[in-house]
Structure 1
Amino acid sequence: MTTTERIDPPFAADETAMLTAWLDYHRATLLLKTEGLTPEQLRERSVPPSSLSLLGLVRHMAEVERHWFLGILQGQEFEEGIYWTSEDEDGDFNQVDGADPEADLATFRTQVGLAREAAAGLPPETPGKRLRRGEEVTLRWILVHMIEEYARHNGHADLLRERIDGATGE
C-alpha cells in the first residue's frame, strides 16, 4: 500500500515556490483520496448519468498535467490524449470500467513528474510555446489554473470517497 506524503505549503515564500507548493499539495490530496480502495471502488461512478469516478479524476488530471505543461508550456503537439481519442473525448472518465488503476496511478505520477521537469527553474512570467485560444499563456497562469483545477476536482473526489466508504477529511 502506498502512502502519499502531503506537505503543507509554506506561509511565506517567493511566488514560484508558493504556487508550486500549493499545486503539489493538491496533487497529493487527489492521491490521498484514492488510497486504500479496491480497483472496483476506484472505478465506481458517482450517480447516473455522470461518468465521474475517482479513477476517472486521476486519469483526467494526468491528461490536464500533460496538456498544460508539455503541450502549452513546452509546445509539444499531441494528436490524441493518453485516454481521450477523437472518438471519445471524455475517455479519461468514460473508459474506466476495464482500466487498470495501478497503471493509471503510475501514469498520473509520471505526468506529474514530467510537468515538474517542464516548469523547473522557469520564472512565472515565462510564456508557453503554444497559444491557448489565440492568446499567450504564462507559467504563472498555468500554475494558478492547475491549483484551481485540482481544488475543484478534489472537492469532487472528497464527495466520491465519502460515498464509497464514508471517509471524509482534507
Structure 2
Amino acid sequence: MERIPPSPLASERESLRAHLDFHRATLAMKCEGLSDEELRRPASPPSELSLLGLVRHMAEVERQWFRRIVGGDEVPHVWSDRHDFQAAYDASSSTRAEAFAAWEAEVEHARAVEAAAESLDVRRYVPRWEAEVSLRHLMLHMIHEYARHNGHADLIREAIDGTVGV
C-alpha cells in the first residue's frame, strides 16, 4: 500500500478517501520489515495488543462498516463466530500472510462499496447506534478509528525495534 499524503485542495469525497487511505497505509508501514513473531509481540503487560492484532481488528472494522452497514451484506466475522471485535486482537496463532490477506481484501471491498455509492449523503441504519448515519460520517469514523489505532501502532513498533516516525 503506497502512503500518499492527502491533497489540501481535494474535493470533500477525494479528501475523505485520501485521508482514509493514508491511515490504512500508515498501519501497513508500521508493520513493514517485521517477522510474524515480532508482529505478534504484545505492546506491554498487561495488554496483549500487537501490531498483527491491530491489522486483524481493522479487517473486522472494515468488514463491519463497508460490507455489513453500507453494503447490507450478511457476512460472518473473520475471527469470531459472534459480534466480537475484541477476538481479532488475539493474534497469538496468526501470521502476517493470513492477517494481511484478510485486511487487504476488506480494504479493497470497502473502496469498491464507497466508490459505488452515489454520494456521501447515502444513509444507512446502524443498529448499535440506533440511528441512521451518512456515508460521510462512516468515512470520518473510519479515519478516527485508524488514527487512534495508528497511535497504538507507533508505540508498539517503537517497543519492538526502536523505529519511530510518522
Pairwise TM-score range, normalised by the shorter structure = over 0.9
Question: Relative to structure 2, which stretch is displaced further, 120-129 or 4-13?
Answer: 120-129
TM-score, normalisation: structure 1: 0.91
Q: Which residue, out of 132, 136, 140, partners 1:136? A: 132
Residue type of the alignment partner of 2:57: H
CA offsets per residue over residues 76-108 of structure 1, 9 Å max, x none? 224x410123396522112x1111211211111
Residue 72 of structure 1 is matched in structure 2 by 69
Question: Relative to 1, partners in 2 of residues 1:26 and 1:127: Cα closer, same or farther, differing over 3 Å?
Answer: same
Residue 38 of structure 2 is matched in structure 1 by 41
Residue 149 of structure 2 is matched in structure 1 by 153
- Give 1:1-170 correspondences, 5 Å limit: 4-78=1-75, 80-86=76-82, 90-94=86-90, 96-122=91-117, 123-128=119-124, 131-170=127-166
Paired residues in the alignment total 165
Distance in 1 (CA, whole Å) between partners of 2:115 and 2:128 is: 21
Distance in 2 (CA, whole Å) between partners of 1:87 and 1:10 is: 36
1:47 aligns to what SS in structure 2? coil
User: Quick check: 2:125–2:131 contact (8 Å CA) kept in 1?
Assistant: no
TM-score, normalisation: structure 2: 0.93
Q: Which has a greater percent of strand?
A: 2
User: Quick check: 2:2–2:25 contact (8 Å CA) kept in 1?
Assistant: yes
1:136 aligns to what SS in structure 2? strand
